Each structure stands twice: as C-alpha cells, then as structure tokens.
Amino acid sequence: MKRTLLLLTLAASLGAQDFEPPVRIGILTQAKLTLPEVIERVIANDRDIEISRINRQEASRNIVAAQGVYDPRLGTTATRNRSVTPQTSLITGAANGKLTQKSLNFDPSLSGSFPILGGTYKLDFSQSRQSTDSTLVSLNPQFPVSLNLNLTQPLWRGMRYDDNRYRIELSRKNLNLSAEQFRQRVIEVVSQAIEAYWEVDYAYKNLEVQLQAVRLAQQQDASNRRQLEQGLLAPVDVVQTQTQIATFQQSVYAAQQSLTAAENNLKQLMTADRSDLLWSAALIPSEPPPSATATPALEEAQKAALTKRPELAQNAIALESNQLDLKLARERLKPQIDATAALSAAGLAGRQLPPGSSPFGNLFSSLSSLPSQYVGGYSQSVSNLATGSYPSASVGVQMSFPIRNRTAVAQAEVSALEGKRLKAQQSQVQLAIEADVRNTLQNAASAQARLEAAVSARKYAEAQYASEQRQFQAGTSSVFLVLQRQTELISARSREVRAQADLGRAIAETERATASTIESHNIHIQ
C-alpha cells in the first residue's frame, strides 16, 4: 500500500512537459551550405593546398633558373699599368739606364654556353693605350686592338649530356612532381570535406531522431496519465514512461554534443582563421543525401586507379628523375676530350714621332718608311682591325683521362641501386592501391545494402510500433511492450540516417581510391 502511494505521488510530480534541448554555446545564427560551396571554401582556405601551390610556383621558377645557365654573360676588365725597369743595353732604347712604360687596358667580353652539344664560347674585344720612353719606337703612344673568339666543344663527355641539361630536365621533373603532389592534396582535402559534410548532415538528422523519441515518449506519457486518472493503469506504468523520457533526453544531449563536434570539424576545414563569422553559425546541410551509388566494376576501377592515382605518378616521376641521375653519372665516367678553336683579328695605330727626336729613331726611319695606315689614333687602329688584314687562327684538342675515377663509379652504382629501390616501392604502391580499390568498392556496395536494409527495418519498426499502440488501446498489450517497440523504432530511424551518411562517405572514398574526385566534383586545377 505504501509503495502504491509512493508511485502515485511520483507520477503526479512528473508531469508531461515540452522538451527543448539547451541552446548550443556560441551559436548565434544559421548558414545553409551545399556540398559544392563547402568544397570551394575548403580548397580556398586549406593551408596545405596553399603550400602545395607555392611549391608548384617555386618549381616553375627553378626551371627558369636552370635555363639561365645559357644566358650570355657580359664582362669587362679594365687595368692601368706603369712599370719602370732597369736596362744596361742601348738597344733597348733606354738612354738613361731605365725604361718606363705605361698602359691603359679595357677588355669587354661576351661569354656563355650553347644549349646544344654542351659547347662554350667567349668573344672579347681587347684594346689598350701604350706609351713608353724608349728611343726605338716610331709610334708613341700606340693603340693596339684585337677581336678574339674562343670556342670549346666537348667531343665525348659532356657532348650529349652534361650538368646544365641535367639540371633543366630535373627541374621539369620536379615541376611535374609538385603538380602531382598538389593534385593528391586536393583529392585528400576534398574527400575530407565531403565526409565531414555528411557527418554534419547525420548529426543533425540524428538529433532530430532523438528529439522525435522524446516527443513520442511524452505523448505516451500523456496517454498513460489519462488512463491512470481513469483507473485503467497502475502508477508504475507512468513511471516507466518517465524513465523512457529521461533516457531519450540523455540521447538528445549526446546527439547535440556530437553535432557540435561534427560542425567544428567542418568549420576547421572551411575557415582560414578563428575570426571567421562561420564559427558562430549553425551549419545546415542543404544537399540531399545519396540514396544509391553506381559502383564501378572492379576492372574499371583498378584501371582508373593505376592510371590516375597521384602516388603512382609521383613514383613514376621519381623513377624518371633517377634515370637522369644514372645518365649523368655514366656520362661522368667518360674521358674528357674537347676540341678548341681560337680566331682573332688585330689592328694597330699610333702617333708617329717627329724626325730627329732620337738618334736611333732617325736611324730606323732612314732604313724604312712607316706605312701610312699605322699613323693615327684609336679610331685608326679600329679601322685597321675592321679590314681583317691581320687574322690569326688556331685549333686543338684537349684530353683528360681519369685513371680510376672512383667517385663517378660510386655515383653510378648508387643511382642504379636507387632505381631498384624505386621499382620495389612502385610494386608496394600498386599493391596498396589494389587493396584500397577493393576495400572501397566493397564498402560502397555494403553501404548501399545497409541503407536499403535500414530503410526496410525502419518501415517495419514503424508498423510494429503502430500495431503495438493499437493493441495497447484495445487492452491486449502493456506499457512495457509499447515502450520496447518505441525504442526499437528510434534505433531503426537512427540506423537509417547513419546508413545514409555512411553511403555518402563510401562514395567519397570510392572517388578518392579511383582518383576521380576532381573530375566528379568539377574542380578545375590551373
């Protein structure tokens, strides 16, 4: 009797009240988001993508830097000399026992390398003004000039391949590598964004399912109270529904926490910093969840993955770069044999000394007269050069044969071993991709089947709950069975929304495994 009174008192004190979950902390507004909008914002704000983009820009600049080795180099040498040397012979023209000579030299040059066959060139224009106190010269000062061209052409080592061409080709490979790394990061980030989006969608729907559970329990509680007042139910039946309400409310609080965590995870991907207004908004997914997926055939998925996966492309580029290393190392094993050629033209002019300036000068001037083209200043010397009357040429061969060259041999062996390692790694990557493709295809097929089964289970649970309610109204069932069917219905609804989110995640994983994420979502990479 006392226990019955206690239950009646408890049932009376626990009245049916409308339940509203507490306001979430820091949420001031709402923002509806479609999946393309989320992907766009994630790509725009991901720091790793920005770093990958910068790496691509650096790689393109490195190509230009490597090609800069073929830019011509303009140089110049300017010197001023004065020398006083002692002389003991009169035939040197030093009447007072010392010879003083002065010169001012200016030698601009243009040099560089040929992009084909590895040759080098240097063109210089040598010009000077020379004066002396020697009594034997007829021209003082003199202005000798010369135009010189020097060529060096490798005949063996460095002819077909050299360090310059290696650096250019390696820079291009690095650009391709950075492009594949950028593409891989885009695929990874977009996949993360899609999965995070569907997690938020699931969290909202799961929260709604738990709120529906509380409302169903409250409706059942109100019905039980009316029947308690009419003497049709015992107080313990009301207490059972109150227990059900409290249990469902706990699920609401847990679902709300899961929603906040899922939203914050997506916000981290979408925002650039903590000052973004999106942090104060509730993210409302407006994209309908997928209800079915067209899973590609295994052979088609394998072919796509092995053709487009960035990991395999990066490994292939690494192998190509290794072949460049091996090619350069083998080139360095060859002897150095270079052909050289030198062509030059000269010109000379100066101011003629007046007759009688020295006894030796008078003696030599009486023996022969000085040609008129040698008399003049700097312009006359250049004019004599332009006539091409004073050419000179030489050709030769330079040879260098390393006796052992252990450094080049070791480098070639290291490059060959590195190639074997990369080939073994390529096989590992292919095996990992094979397993990944098979797992994701099976996951997608299983997710599709789970969703179909979850939809059926939810429909059957609804029918069972409705049937149990009718039996309870007819007096052939109990509150315990009604609440049990109610719990089963809520579980079925929760499993259905979970299966919908899992299907969306499985589709994203399939796109990632087959490297079709970028094309499937119309992402354009420039």
Radius of gyration of the chain (CA): 46
pLDDT tens string, the chain, 526 residues long: the values are: 444 434 444 444 444 456 778 888 988 999 999 999 999 999 999 888 888 889 888 999 999 999 899 999 999 999 999 888 887 666 666 667 788 888 899 999 999 999 888 899 999 999 999 888 877 777 888 999 999 999 999 999 888 888 999 999 999 999 999 999 999 999 999 999 999 999 999 999 999 999 999 998 898 888 888 888 887 777 887 888 888 899 999 999 999 999 999 999 999 999 988 888 999 999 999 988 888 777 889 999 999 999 999 999 999 999 999 999 999 999 888 899 999 999 999 988 888 877 655 555 555 455 456 788 888 888 888 888 888 888 999 999 999 888 888 888 898 899 999 999 999 999 999 999 999 999 999 999 999 999 999 999 999 999 999 998 899 888 888 888 988 999 999 999 999 999 999 999 999 999 999 999 999 898 887 6
CB atoms within 10 A of CB 289: 17
Identity at 326, one-letter amino acid code: L
Which residue reads 């259905």 in tokens? 496
* Residue for token pair 């292919």: 430
pTM reported for the whole predicted model: 0.79
28 Rama sector, left if φ>0, alpha if ψ -120 to 50, beta otherwise? alpha
CA distance 3 to 133: 138
Question: What confidence tens digit (pLDDT) does each residue in 388-426 have?
Answer: 888 999 999 999 888 888 888 898 899 999 999 999 999
Q: Where are the domains of the chain?
A: 34-62+166-324+413-520, 74-154+349-389
Could you tell me which residues come within 8 angstroms of residue 125 by beta carbon, excluding any fewer than 6 positions away? 107, 108, 109, 145, 146, 147, 148
pLDDT in tens, 90-144: 666 666 778 888 889 999 999 999 988 889 999 999 999 988 887 777 788 899 9
- Tell which CATH architecture fits domain 34-62+166-324+413-520: Up-down Bundle (1.20)
**In the predicted model, what is the mean pLDDT of the chain?**
87
Give the separation between CA 177 and CA 161, rounded to whole angstroms: 22
The pLDDT score that the predictor gives to residue 4 is 43
| Contact status, residue 154 vs residue 338, Cβ threshold 8 Å | yes
- d(C-alpha 47, C-alpha 61), whole Å: 21
